[in-house]
Amino acid sequence: MYAVECVKVGYRHFTLLDINGEPMLNSTLFVHVAVTNKRGGGKPKKRGVSVRRKYSKIQTGIKQIGIKRLDDAFKAKFNCCSSSLHKIMQNELTQWQESCGLGPAATMRQGLRLLHSRVLAASNTSSNAADLAYQSQFLIDIDEGFPRIELEGNVPDILRKSCQSFEKVIAQCRRIIERSDALICKVEEQCKRINDCYQEVCNDENDVRPKGQQATRASENFAWNCRLLKSQTETMEKILEECREYIKQITNTACLLNVLKIQCQQPCQHRTQQTNNI
């Protein structure tokens, strides 16, 4: 039996043994090792050009209203802020999961515990006196309410890169949390201005106002475009909630692992939970 932290993912050649337990000559088994909670080893998230093009088509399906003033307003204001934030966040998460050898369903709790255990393992494998005097340390510092990883001592480059990828996820969460409120307010203001513009056009008595079937089609397309703008607000609120949950998981897990640089002054909520939940 081997600990999960000791299992190396990827392609491996295993030497086959005979009935007496001796290695067989020129006999190996070529396998792929993956650590995941999905059946079949899990599949990496697709990030190709075709997937991005398909996702962009779904998100930017603006319909023509037939009134130049409104069409220009929708084109100028529909900038897909939420989809950009979502794609950037997913890319950072995927890169971090790949660098740690985790599956797509891995949580921030699992990732932090894995990094902590690997740093401790690297510290315990030091044999030289100079290395023992400068052992590896894994600490979490809280900077303006957001966690930040601090590595001290001799840390392997691969492990240091994994920690840097983890910090990128935290930094992206911080940017989203700091910007989302302003972006949500901006989209709501855009919806209000476009709606006012539509009312002005409908109340206009000149020839610009659509009539008959054109008016029905324009009304339906206008409602469709407004729903797309509203969906941006809902998506940003969902991303914002996910980022806050990520930060909460990191802080609580760091407190549980006793790696916070400044220890918790108040009892954490997670201390009442069972350890196997993380």
pLDDT tens, position by position, 89-100: 888 888 888 888
Q: With cut-offs at 50, 70 and 90, classify the pLDDT of residue 246.
A: very high
> Which has the closest alpha carbon to 215: 75, 70, 77?
70
Q: pLDDT digits over 32-78, tens only?
A: 877 765 554 555 555 555 555 554 444 457 777 777 777 777 776 66
The pLDDT of residue 245 is above 90: yes
Q: What is the pLDDT of residue 234?
A: 84
Q: What is the pLDDT of residue 76?
A: 66
Q: Per-residue pLDDT averaged across 160-181, rounded? A: 89
Query: What is the model's pLDDT at position 38?
Result: 54
Strand, coil or helix: what is 24?
Answer: strand
Q: What is residue 121's predicted lDDT score, i.e. its pLDDT?
A: 83
Predicted TM-score (pTM) of this structure: 0.64
Q: Which pLDDT value is given to residue 59? A: 45
With a cut of 70, say whether residue 19 has pLDDT above it. yes
pLDDT of 237 > 80? The answer is yes
Q: What percent of the chain has pLDDT over 90?
A: 5
Longest dimension (CA), the chain: 96
pLDDT at 247: 92
Do residues 264 and 142 lie in contact, with contact meaning Cβ atoms separated by under 8 Å? Answer: no
Contact 161, 81 (CB under 8 A): no
CA 195 to each of CA 190, 225, 272: distance values in angstroms, whole numbers, following the listed order: 8, 11, 49
pLDDT tens profile 136-162: 778 888 888 888 888 887 788 888 888
In 10 A of CB 59, how many CB atoms?
Answer: 19
Given a cut of 60, is residue 132 above it in pLDDT?
A: no
Q: In terms of pLDDT, which residue wins out, 6 or 145?
A: 145
According to the model, what pLDDT value does residue 230 have? 80
* pLDDT surpasses 60 at 166: yes
pLDDT at 270: 46
**Domain spans of the chain, in order of start:** 67-277
pLDDT score recorded for residue 248? 92
pLDDT at 153: 78
- Residues in Cβ contact with 9 at an 8 Å cutoff, skipping those fewer than 6 apart: 33, 34, 35, 101
